[in-house]
Structure formats: C-alpha cells, structure tokens
Amino acid sequence: MTPPNPPRVLLSAFADEAANRKTALEQLTALAAIGLSHYSPRFIDVDGSGTVRHIVDLDAAQRERLKALHREFGIRVTSIGSRLGKVKLRDEPDKSHNKFVPFAEYVKGEVAATLRTAVDLETKLVRGFSFYPPLGADPAPFVGQAVEQIGTIVEACAKEGLVYGLEIEPNLVGSTG
C-alpha cells in the first residue's frame, strides 16, 4: 500500500557547470535538456552580455529577468548556492587568499543580500559554509566562534522562513563533520 504522502526526491544541479559562458539561457537549456526542473544558481550571466555575476550580486532587474526565464523553462530554484561562511574568522595574515569581513558588517551586507535573493527567487534553502580559521591553525579553538556566527546566520534565515544548509568543506572549521 502506498502511503498517502510518499517521500519525494528532488534532483538539482549547479547549472553553471554545464554552461561554457554561464549564460542563463545556456544553463536553463541544459537543465531542461536532461529533464531537471530545479537548480541551485551560483554564477550566471542573465542578459548574455558576457558579464558573469554571482547570483547574490544581481540587481533587481536582472533577478526579474531570471525569474521570467525560470517561468519560461519551468525551472525552480532549489537553493541559493551562496558564499556565506567563506570568509576568515579572524583578521590575521595567514598567506591565504581568503578575505576577512567584520561580522556585523558581513551580516548587514553579504548575509542580508543572500537572504533577499533567496526570498526573491522563491526558495527556502540557503547553502552556506562554516568559516576559515587561520591557515595552518588547529581549527578546534575556533569552533565556538564559528558556531556563534553560524547561529546568527541561521536565526536571520529563520526570520525570513529560510533554512541554512551547512556544506562541509576542507579547510573550514568543522571540515571533518
């Protein structure tokens, strides 16, 4: 007997990996060609100008154009492929290319822009990360700070009806899970 609400699985992709020029048209065509109806946008050239932007950096007109293309192709956004948590926890030189942004500024800037993008593109999930400790340092002493900062982001997401999905990645606090 089939349960009244059988579990569903949504397949999603980073369509920018299937598009040579990262245009929205290329990305959505690739998704449609393989039968996918959902994706996680990251890097995209909405208008075919040759300028690729991160999804969070699109202006309102570009987001509206992208939403029109989503409707045309029958594509929905699964999650925002955000950069949240991909900054240094401390402002210490460590020979990495990772940047530091004071956390209060980060919340008002990158976090707010990411949440605004997620709401505007009608998704509930924001993919994010867990911050860089100083390069070569034992990450253990930085767990508390990372957890506190992630908690602030999670609370901001919750206020907007969003979920913060933490991606485990090497070189970040908590990289071993």
pLDDT (tens digit, 9 = 90+) per residue, 52-106?
Answer: 999 999 999 999 999 999 999 999 999 999 999 999 999 998 888 999 999 999 9
d(C-alpha 52, C-alpha 42), whole Å: 10
Beginning with the edge strand found earlier in the chain, give each strand of the sheet holding 163-166 in spatial order.
79-81, 125-128, 163-166
Domain boundary assignment for the chain: 10-77, 84-177
27-49 pLDDT, tens per residue? 999 999 999 999 999 999 999 99
Give the C-alpha separation, 153 to 164, whole Å.
Answer: 8
- Identify the band that residue 3 occupies on the pLDDT scale cut at 50, 70 and 90: confident
Angle, alpha carbons 12-43-157 (nearest 5°) = 65
Q: What are the beta bridge partners of residue 39?
A: 77
